[in-house]
Amino acid sequence: MKRNLHFPTILLLGIILFGSNARGQDPNYSQWLNAPIYYNPAFTGVNIGLRARFSYREQWPNLPVDFRTMYFSADWGDRKLPGSGGIGVIINSDNEGIGFIKNFSAGLALSVRIPITSYLISQLGIKASVMQKRLDWNDFVFSDQLNETYGNIYNSALSQPDNEQRIFPDFAAGGLIQFINPGANITGTAGFAVDHIFQPDESFLALSKSPLPRKYVGHLDLIISLGSTPSLALTTIRGFEDPLKINPGILYQNQNNKSSLQFGVNMLKFNIYLGGYIYTTNLNKGSTSLNLLAGYRYIFANDMSLKFMYSYDLQLSGNLNGTGGAHEVSLILEFSRIRMVSKNNYEDCPSERQRDLRLAPLECSPF
């Protein structure tokens, strides 16, 4: 369906075409812990085995705009790989503006694992992507094309951009440290990453440049197990006897002189996830929302599980009331025994069946 643009929208379109001064941040996911490679490529292969993640986000559904974002990643961790890290792929697509600019990126992520002590490891990661930015110019109907009686009969005086599609490479890099206490009941991850390192030009105009601003990301989260771990002799379905796990976390982003902060906590018990996060932009005078999360983990076997998560963003800022917030759905598939090279040292990956308190919990997905 073609879109009718009046002066304010034309002005916005001009800003997008001629420069990036008005550009904000990259698309954001409320469930940022379920899209880790998107924020930091050092997460690639941080746990052994194969993990596939899919996220779908629809923002402001009550408005006549098309703000949809989709994310997919798959990464393998294998300590027999060169560098003892992992390899992964990541695909992301989103709509920006009022939905008339389509972005698509596909990339490869690699990581190197560096053990420091028995209770501390680090990983460094890089991501190389190809990005496509596309403008559907023929979808637009500008106000100077319209006749009061006959409708769309004129040609617009607004010049068509030189390019309706841009394809360019993009790169990111990051690092993280992961630690566990001697009692193996507290695990933590902290990291930092930079995206769009070389600020590629995304302008649709041949005589104008619009560099994609670098994005800086910092994150920290803890996983705290409350209670004793189940015995190796238990025959009940794994997960129902696991102790309560609490996962507080914080994510900070800065891009184009605009900052955002997400902080909150998720919990896991009886294979059920519940959580709440606060998301605020521009910190002191931006918008604020409350993200509420619920999910379920279905365990097929000790080395295979499926996680389903749903979250809703409740807008707390008055200027965004009535937008409908945002809906986000995530699916995570985990296969801890799938190997690319050979069998890993930790055949039974779940940390509740630890064979080595020093290393097994850092090799396995703890949440």
Q: Number of C-alpha atoms within 13 angstroms, CB side, residue 10?
A: 13
Q: Is 333 helix (H, G, I), strand (E, B) or coil?
A: strand
pLDDT digit string (tens) for 242-301?
Answer: 889 999 999 999 999 899 999 999 999 999 999 999 999 876 667 889 999 999 999 887
Say how far apart CA 11 and CA 14 lie, in whole Å: 5
Strand-pair category, 3-5 with 49-59: unpaired
pLDDT digit string (tens) for 298-329?
Answer: 988 777 899 999 999 998 876 667 777 899 99
Burial of 252 (0-12, 13-18, 19+ CB in 10 A): middle
Instruction: Decide which of 366 and 144 is more confident.
Output: 366
pLDDT digit string (tens) for 103-139?
Answer: 999 999 999 999 888 789 999 999 999 999 887 766 6
pLDDT digit string (tens) for 13-27?
Answer: 444 444 444 455 789
What's domain 3-363's architecture? Beta Barrel (2.40)
Say how far apart CA 107 and CA 91 lie, in whole Å: 7
* Tokens of residue 17, six digits: 């075409």
Residue 331 has what pLDDT? 97
| pTM assigned to the model | 0.84
